[in-house]
């Protein structure tokens, strides 16, 4: 094995064995099994949550610096070397602030909402295989778990808006509920096309099947998934929920102190998690060259995805509510269905009926067909849609205008 394992990332079973041996030595004969289950689970969750929170803190720094660079200014650079202390300063400030609850607010709903928003985001990361040897949980229905757990987001956002009894918050959360539920359908369609080729719901299986990265095999599926994932985490051009220039701050208008910190954390953890999912599903997971461990390649790909998301965020404006819903139902869903249909036909023809294996030649053929089809579709759609918007007559002065120079 040429691969160097200097980063043996956290794994549930190594924890379990460690605790099992400890409890055995301590003299818990029979009960050491379930005790070490609990101990391993607890310590692993503790580690994973803390690592993710720390990663999010640095991600906020990265996002602020990158977007600052796009906006030809400097990001936070006063606090520590390169401003790396800034996230910690922010967190300390938020925790020290007074935690106010509006008197008219629905207190239980208002309090649970931030936790309900953070929990699913944390849960998703458990099923993502960062390398063959390092993941937190091997779920054989990993991708189904992700699709299910992201739906909780819409409820949490609605809770946050409804609970705070604020008109802006309700407007924001109403938009959020409508948007998040609509975009779940194209997202599921994008995932389904991956499953058709991979033939498995387990994340590690999907990674293993990617002899050719799925982004190359089905660009349309990638486009559909990326667009809907951007909407799911409500970033530009789909940031209707927060919509700073319209709703002040949207669903989190009334939150302050530690509750706002948790909402903020969930919001900024979403891009990390999304990029991890995208890397797993479309970019070949931990695959890479052998001279560096798989975790490195995984994180590198995540960075590329995050950078692309930030690039888009700093360039494009926001769409209107009805346009966003129209995009989901009128364009993305149709593209997703067409993509599934095409891939299903290809898989039915190309797959070996006995063994059920797609070879890399088969995938190359599929890639060729799909790329041609995608480009033709997109060009057709672009021209079809563009006619209406680009053609404009030359301005004609109004007959009501009467401008004759009078002189000084």
Partner 1 sequence: MYGLGLIKGLGITMKNLVIPNRQFNIYQYPNKKVTPWDLAKINSSKTFPFIAKNPITTFKSLVGLVNVEERLPQHPNFRGEEFAWYDNRCTGCASCAKYCPLGIIKIVTGTSGVNSQEGQSYDLEVFDIDIGRCMFCGLCVEACPYDALHMGSGFEEAQYQRSNLVIDINKLKSAEKKPSTWFRPQLVKQGHDPITGDTADWKKVGRHEKPSLDDQSERWAKR
Partner 2 sequence: MTGIRTEPVTVNLGPQHPSTHGVFRLRVTFDGEEIIDLEPVFGYLHRGTEKLAETRNYTQIVTLTDRMDYVASMSNNLAYVRTVEKLSGIQVPERAQYIRVICAELQRIASHLMATGFLLNDIGALATPLIYCFREREKILDLFEMLCGARITLSYMRPGGIFQDADSDFWNALDILIQELPHYLDELEALISKNEIVLARTRSVGILSDADAIDYGVTGPILRASRVKWDLRKANPYEIYNRLDFEIPIGVEGDTYDRFHVRLLEMQESVKIITQCIKQIEKGPIRANTPYFIRPKPGETYQSVEGPKGELGFYLISDGGVSPYRCKVRAPSFINLTPLKKMMLGWKMGDLITILGSIDIVLGEVDR
Binding site for partner 2 (CB under 8 A): 67, 70-73, 167-168, 170-171, 175, 236-237, 239, 243-248, 313-323, 386, 389, 392-398, 400-401, 403-408
Separation CA 182–CA 227 (nearest Å): 12
CB of 249 to partner 2, least distance (A): 9
Pick 299 or 321: Cβ nearer partner 2: 321
| Nearer Cβ to partner 2 (1/401) | 401
Q: What are the C-alpha distances in Å from 144 to residues 107, 128, 189?
A: 33, 12, 12
Letter string b/e over residues 12-45, b meaning 16 or more CB atoms within 10 A of that residue's CB: beebbeebbeebeeeeeeeebeebbeebbbeebe
Shortest CB 240 distance to partner 2, Å: 8
CB of 82 to partner 1, least distance (A): 7
- Find which of partner 2, partner 1, none residue 311 binds, CB within 5 to 8 Å per kind: partner 1
Name the residue nearer to partner 1 (CB basis): 9 or 378.
378
Give the count of residues interacting with partner 1 (CB under 8 A). 23
Stretch of 95-103, 129-137, 260-268, 306-314 lying at the interface with partner 1 (CB under 8 A)? 306-314
Give 8 or 71: the residue with its C-beta nearer to partner 2: 71
The distance of closest approach from Cβ of residue 359 to partner 1 in the complex, given in angstroms and rounded to an integer, is: 35
Q: Which is nearer to partner 1, 304 or 350 (CB)?
A: 304
Q: Which two tokens stand for residue 370?
A: 């799909």
330 near partner 1, judged by CB under 8 A: no
Tokens of 362: 């088969």
Smallest gap, in angstroms, from Cβ of residue 316 to partner 1? 6
Q: What is the CA radius of gyration of the chain?
A: 25
Residue 181 touches which member of partner 1, partner 2, none, C-beta under 5-8 Å by kind: none
Q: Per rule CB under 8 A, is residue 73 in the interface with partner 1? A: yes
Which position among 2, 27, 30, 72 is part of the footprint of partner 1 (CB under 8 A)?
A: 72
Report the nearest approach of partner 1 to the CB of residue 72 (Å): 4
Identify which of residues 14 and 77 has a Cβ nearer to partner 1 in the complex. Answer: 77
Per-residue x/- track, 51-70, partner 1 (CB under 8 A): ------------------xx
Asked if 81 interacts with partner 1 (CB under 8 A), we say: yes
Contact with partner 1 (CB under 8 A) among 71, 100, 140, 361: 71
Binding-site member from 89, 141, 178, 312 for partner 1 (CB under 8 A): 312
Residue 392 binds partner 1 (CB under 8 A): no
Task: Name which of partner 2, partner 1, none residue 74 binds, using a CB cut-off of 5 to 8 Å depending on partner kind.
Answer: partner 1
Q: Is residue 375 at the binding interface for partner 1, with CB under 8 A as the rule?
A: no
Q: Site residues (CB under 8 A) for partner 1? A: 69-74, 77, 81-82, 311-312, 314-316, 378-379, 381-383, 385-386, 389-390
């Amino acid at each position: 094995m040429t691969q160097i394992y200097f980063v043996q990332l956290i794994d549930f079973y190594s924890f379990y064995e460690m605790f099992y041996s400890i409890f055995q030595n301590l003299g818990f004969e029979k009960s050491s099994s379930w005790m070490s289950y609990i101990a391993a689970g607890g310590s692993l969750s503790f580690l994973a949550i803390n690592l993710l929170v720390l990663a999010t803190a640095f991600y906020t720094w990265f996002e602020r610096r990158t977007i600052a660079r796009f906006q030809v200014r400097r990001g936070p650079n006063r606090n520590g070397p390169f401003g790396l202390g800034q996230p910690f300063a922010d967190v300390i400030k938020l925790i020290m602030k007074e935690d106010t609850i509006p008197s008219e607010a629905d207190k239980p709903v208002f309090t649970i909402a931030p936790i309900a928003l953070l929990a699913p985001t944390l849960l998703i990361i458990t099923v993502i295989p960062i390398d063959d040897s390092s993941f937190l949980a091997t779920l054989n229905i990993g991708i189904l778990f992700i699709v299910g757990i992201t739906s909780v987001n819409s409820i949490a956002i609605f809770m946050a808006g409804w609970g705070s009894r604020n008109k802006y918050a309700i407007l924001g959360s109403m938009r959020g509920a409508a948007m998040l539920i609509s975009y779940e359908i194209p997202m599921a369609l994008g995932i389904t096309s991956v499953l058709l080729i991979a033939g498995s719901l387990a994340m590690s299986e999907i990674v293993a099947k990617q002899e050719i990265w799925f982004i190359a095999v089905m660009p349309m599926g990638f486009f559909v998934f990326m667009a809907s994932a951007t909407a799911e985490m409500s970033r530009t051009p789909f940031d209707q929920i927060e919509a700073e220039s319209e709703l002040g701050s949207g669903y989190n208008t009334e939150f302050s102190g530690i509750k706002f910190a948790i909402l903020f954390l969930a919001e900024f953890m979403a891009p990390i998690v999304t990029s991890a999912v995208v890397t797993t599903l479309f970019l070949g997971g931990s695959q890479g060259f052998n001279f560096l461990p798989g975790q490195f390649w995984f994180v590198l790909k995540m960075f590329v995805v995050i950078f692309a998301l930030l690039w888009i965020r700093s360039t494009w404006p926001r769409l209107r509510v009805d346009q966003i819903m129209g995009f989901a139902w009128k364009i993305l869903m149709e593209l997703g269905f067409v993509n599934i249909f095409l891939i299903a036909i290809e898989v039915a023809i190309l797959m070996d009926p006995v063994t059920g294996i797609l070879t890399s030649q088969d995938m190359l053929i599929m890639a060729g067909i799909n790329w041609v089809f995608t480009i033709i579709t997109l060009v057709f759609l672009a021209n079809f849609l563009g006619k209406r918007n680009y053609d404009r007559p030359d301005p004609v002065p109004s007959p009501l205008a009467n401008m004759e120079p009078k002189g000084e």
